[in-house]
Structure 1
Amino acid sequence: MLPGLDKQAVADASYELEALGLLRMQRFLGGNWHANLTPFFYEQVDPQLMGWNTAADAMEVARIMLAEDTGNASTLHAKTGWTKRRFNPAFRALLHLFPNGRVRKVIQPDYPTAGVVLAPEDKAALRRFVARGSGG
């Protein structure tokens, strides 16, 4: 995809970005590799390039989750009115608040997860998350 650049220079730069936490490298036999952007990449780059803040967006998604009493990704996405490119990093930033058993594992291509189950303790965690972000 970068025909004018030396393959080794691209690999070296990619491994540097991995060391910074911006890429996740997958290595294969024969020296081949594949890179994925990390959630940290979006947090660092989006304010500069896209003009939005993933942390502030995550707080807005949390507010919507509480107000609408839903953890369904497609419903939340529709409520924000954002593109998937903006919604997905914000939604992904909230997933650490939920125990593994309440994060849906449905394989689908649109969202980091199809949704989360909102138990009372999860709502409390979301309220604390919003309060911390609001200075409370």
Structure 2
Amino acid sequence: MPSALTPADFEELRQLLARFAHVFDNGDTEALEEVFTDDGVIVLAGPGREFHGLAAIREFNTSLGELSPDHHTLDTVFDVDPEDPYGTVRARSRYLAVLPDGSVHNGDYVDVLVRTPKGWRIAHRRSVPRHPVRVG
């Protein structure tokens, strides 16, 4: 049986969440495999859009082009899944996103993080807008 999560695991998890912003905001679609599982999911709760699988996440990232926000992940709390204390972690983070016009959007990321043979990855990310609420 694997050992329980260590401080090194939590540091890797923090690095993973930080890496998302660097990879996604720079349009480094090849490096998205360092962030998401192959079957990873992004759910955008505000506009009600979903992207299933690494190929769809890459396509979404590419489609944003110059309109991609600049993401900043803050105030993350981790919860170890009591049913799987060695391989699944739930995380809730606040985010700030600076939009191309300089306005700021914020919300919460609700993530399911899993340990894979290549390290920790995001299996499911739900992005929930808070304020201002964006329409369209």
Query: What is the TM-score when the length of structure 2 is the normalising length?
Result: 0.30
More strand by share: 2
Query: Which one has the largest radius of gyration?
Result: 1
Q: RCO (CA 8 Å, sep 6+): is it higher in 1 or 2?
A: 2
Query: What is the TM-score when the length of structure 1 is the normalising length?
Result: 0.30
